[in-house]
Amino acid sequence: MFDAYDELFDLALNIVVSAAKASPNLLVRKLSIGSARAARIIDEMEEAGFVGPSRGNKPREVLVTAEGVTSFIKSWEEEKNQRQLAKAHDEKQIKEFYEKEAIKYKDYDHTVFFPWPDVSACLNEKSSKHVYRTADDFKNDPKHKDIKCTGCNRGLDSLDVIYFKSPDWTWWKLAGRMGWLVLCDKCKKQVYFEAEVMN
């Protein structure tokens, strides 16, 4: 919602609310920006409902309280994080993001790439509409013949192959993952993941 707004929008809003007046000149002075940019930021504030319409030579009315600014800044920060996540398409960044959510599950010793409650929710999924339709299709692809648990050395025939889909909130945060996940139930560890879809 706010992603099109100026990068300095939150700072500018604090300035305007502290001063209880919304004038471009104030922003020009405090933020060392040009008057065109300052005027645009004030227009954005009007659009967001934080300040009133232009009143000629008089400064615009400030319509937002300090509390309103605090809650706005919070959602602004969240949006910024989401935008950063949206850029974080590479595996390492998404992994770091998702690892923050990872917790140990049941008697599994290892913290894994995916949080166990999410994995658990997918345990019965043995088919997908994508590259491999079933877990057997996945197992039968020659390119998977060397997948082994590094703990017990058992191969695919003895491992659990499930179709993993991360929960809705991860898709909303552009960190959603979907694909084939191989687990060793004996060693209680994640052996392999092959993404089929990544947003």
Interface contacts to Zn ion, rule CB under 5 A: 149, 151-152, 184, 186-187
Residue 173 or 189 with smaller CB distance to Zn ion: 189
Cα 67 to Cα 1, 6, 74, 165, distances in angstroms: 19, 21, 11, 38
Which CB, 149 or 175, lies closer to Zn ion?
149
- Closest by Cα among 117, 113, 90, 106 to 180: 113
Task: Give the nearest distance from C-beta 149 to Zn ion in angstroms.
Answer: 3
Residue 79: CB atoms within 10 A of its CB come to 14
140 vs 153, beta carbon nearer Zn ion: 153
CA–CA separation, 156 and 138 (whole Å): 10
Please say which residue, 68 or 155, places its beta carbon nearer to Zn ion: 155
**b/e sequence 18-55, b meaning 16+ C-beta within 10 Å:** eeebbbbebbbebbebeeebbbbbbebbeebebbeeee
| Closest distance to Zn ion from the beta carbon of 161 (Å) | 14
d(CA 7, CA 47): 16
- How far is Cα 89 from Cα 86, in angstroms, rounded to an integer? 7
The DSSP output letter for 22 is B
For Zn ion, give the closer residue by CB, 174 or 184: 184
